[in-house]
C-alpha cells in the first residue's frame, strides 16, 4: 500500500545511491517506464479536494531511454527524440517546457553533484496525447526513473511524485497529483489532495471499454472554466457548480462501495450520474455524449467521460452476464448473450459512433477493496 500523505512541493533530501553499477557507464542505456491511466470517477472535483479513483491502463505506456552523449558536466548538452520533435532540448517547442524544467531539476540535483555530463533522451509512447489518459504524467514519471537510473540514484515513491509534479504543474497549472500517482502504480488508486493515498486491487465482475473520440481534450482550459464557474459573480451559477463538485465527491465514495461489494449494476448507475454532473459543469462535448449514448444503447451498464473532457476519452462498463440479469430490458441485452458477445457489441457500437480506438480494462482482480478506503 502506498502512503503519500505528504503532498509538499519541496523535494525530499533523502536519496540512496546504488553501489553497483556505477552511474552513466559509456554506451549503456538507462530506462524508465510508466503506463497510462483512466479516471473511473472524480475528475475535476479532485482539483477541489474531493476524492477520485483512477485505474492503471497497462496496455498503454511511455518508455524513456537515456544515454550519455559525451558532453562534459561543465557544458552539458541534451538531445530529445520523441514522436513530434527531434533536436536539442533547449530548442524544443513551447509545449515541451514542462520536460525542460523537469530535466533541469533532475540533472542539477542528481547528476551535477557526481559531475555527470549531458545525455540523450528518447521517448516512445503508446498513450495518445491530450486524451485524459495521463500521457504527460507518464512521461514525467518515466523520465524521472530513467534519469535516476542514469545517475545511479534510487528515488523513493514520494520523490518520484515530487519530481513528476514539477512537470505536471507546468503542463496543467494547479495539477492535483492524481495522474502522477496513477501512472506510477499498477493498482487502482484512491486519491484525495492532502490526504492519504491508497492503492488497491479490484473485485468487480465487469470490464471497462475505454474509447478515444480522436479529439484532443482541453484539460487545462476545462479546469480553469470550472474554477470560473465556482467563483462566478452569478450566485446561482456558482451555487450549482459547488453542488456539482460536492455531488461528484459523494459519487466517488459510492463508487468505492460498489467496487468493494462487486455491485456492477450500482457502479453503472453511478457512472451515468457522474457523466450528467460533469455535463452540468460544461466539460463534456458532443463527441463524448454521442459515444456515451451509443454505449448505453448497446447494453453498457453505465458510461461517462474520463479525464478533463472537452474531447479525449470515455469509458463504458460492461457487466458480467452472471451478475446482471440477461432478461432485463433495462440492460438492452439479448437473452443468452455471453460476456464476450456483450463486450464486442459495445465496442463495435463505440467504433460505429466515431471512436478511433478502444482499450479493454478488466475490473476483476479478485481482491476485495479495503474497508478503510470507505471510512
Q: What is the pLDDT of residue 343?
A: 94
Residue ending a domain, among 192, 220, 246, is 192
In a domain, 229, yes or no: yes
Helix (H, G, I), strand (E, B) or coil at 283: coil
Residue with cell 538531445: 79
Tell me phi and psi for residue 157, to 5 degrees. Answer: -60, -40
Residue 361 DSSP one-character state: E
* 133-179 pLDDT, tens digit each: 999 999 999 999 999 999 999 999 999 999 999 999 998 877 888 99
Query: Do 231 and 165 sit in the same domain of this protein?
Result: no
> Range with the lowest mean pLDDT among 181-185, 193-197, 368-372?
368-372
In a domain, 3, yes or no: no
Q: Number of folded domains in the chain?
A: 2
To the query of whether residue 179 is one of the catalytic residues in this protein, the response is: yes
In a domain, 279, yes or no: yes
* 238-288 pLDDT, tens digit each: 999 999 999 999 999 999 999 988 899 999 999 999 999 999 999 999 999
Residue with cell 451559477: 237
CA distance 227 to 242: 10
**Helix and strand totals (H; E) in the chain:** 9, 13
Q: Is the pLDDT of residue 336 over 90?
A: no
pLDDT mean over 187-193 = 94
pLDDT mean over 61-69 = 97
Residue with cell 518520484: 160
Q: Which of 179, 225, 244, 331 is catalytic?
A: 179
Residue ending a domain, among 192, 220, 251, is 192
The CATH number of the domain where 316 resides is what? Answer: 3.30.70.890
Q: What is the pLDDT of residue 220?
A: 82
> Hey, how many other C-beta atoms are within 10 angstroms of the C-beta on 305?
30
Residue ending a domain, among 161, 192, 223, is 192
Write out the residue range of the structural domain in which residue 224 sits. 202-321+337-364
- Who wins on pLDDT, 13 or 49? 49
Query: Do 187 and 57 sit in the same domain of this protein?
Result: yes
In terms of phi and psi (left: phi > 0; alpha: psi -120 to 50; beta: otherwise), the region of 330 is alpha
pLDDT mean over 9-13 = 37
Query: Do 225 and 293 sit in the same domain of this protein?
Result: yes
In a domain, 8, yes or no: no
Amino acid at each position: 500500500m502506498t502512503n503519500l500523505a505528504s503532498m509538499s512541493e519541496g523535494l525530499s533530501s533523502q536519496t540512496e545511491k546504488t553501489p553497483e553499477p556505477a552511474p552513466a557507464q559509456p554506451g549503456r542505456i538507462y530506462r524508465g517506464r510508466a503506463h497510462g491511466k483512466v479516471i473511473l470517477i472524480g475528475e475535476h472535483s479532485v482539483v477541489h479536494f474531493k476524492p477520485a479513483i483512477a485505474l492503471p491502463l497497462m496496455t498503454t505506456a511511455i518508455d524513456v531511454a537515456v544515454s550519455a552523449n559525451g558532453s562534459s558536466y561543465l557544458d552539458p548538452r541534451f538531445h530529445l527524440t520523441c514522436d513530434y520533435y527531434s533536436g536539442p532540448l533547449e530548442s524544443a517547442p513551447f509545449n515541451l517546457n514542462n520536460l525542460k524544467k523537469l530535466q533541469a531539476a533532475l540533472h542539477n540535483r542528481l547528476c551535477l553533484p557526481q559531475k555527470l555530463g549531458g545525455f540523450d533522451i528518447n521517448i516512445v509512447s503508446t498513450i495518445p496525447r491530450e486524451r485524459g489518459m495521463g500521457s504527460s504524467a507518464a512521461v514525467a514519471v518515466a523520465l524521472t526513473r530513467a534519469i535516476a537510473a542514469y545517475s545511479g540514484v534510487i528515488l523513493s515513491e514520494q520523490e518520484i511524485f515530487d519530481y513528476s509534479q514539477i512537470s505536471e504543474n507546468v503542463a496543467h497549472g494547479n495539477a492535483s497529483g492524481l495522474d502522477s500517482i496513477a501512472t506510477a502504480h499498477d493498482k487502482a488508486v484512491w486519491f484525495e489532495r492532502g490526504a492519504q493515498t491508497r492503492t488497491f486491487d479490484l473485485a468487480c465482475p465487469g470490464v471497462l471499454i475505454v474509447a478515444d473520440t480522436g479529439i484532443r481534450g482541453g484539460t487545462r482550459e476545462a479546469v480553469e472554466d470550472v474554477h470560473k464557474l465556482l467563483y462566478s459573480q452569478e450566485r446561482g451559477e456558482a451555487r450549482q457548480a459547488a453542488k456539482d463538485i460536492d455531488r461528484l465527491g459523494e459519487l466517488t465514495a459510492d463508487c468505492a462501495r460498489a467496487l468493494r461489494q462487486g455491485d456492477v449494476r450500482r457502479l453503472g448507475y453511478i457512472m451515468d450520474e457522474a457523466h450528467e454532473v460533469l455535463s452540468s459543469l460544461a466539460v463534456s462535448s458532443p463527441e463524448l455524449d454521442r459515444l456515451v449514448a451509443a454505449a448505453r444503447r448497446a447494453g453498457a451498464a453505465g458510461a461517462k467521460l474520463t479525464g478533463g473532457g472537452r474531447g479525449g476519452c470515455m469509458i463504458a462498463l460492461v457487466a458480467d452476464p452472471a451478475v446482471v440479469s440477461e432478461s432485463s430490458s433495462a440492460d438492452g441485452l439479448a437473452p443468452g448473450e455471453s460476456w464476450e458477445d456483450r463486450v464486442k457489441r459495445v465496442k463495435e457500437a463505440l467504433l460505429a459512433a466515431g471512436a478511433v480506438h478502444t482499450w479493454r480494462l478488466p475490473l476483476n482482480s479478485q481482491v476485495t477493496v479495503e474497508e478503510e478506503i470507505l471510512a
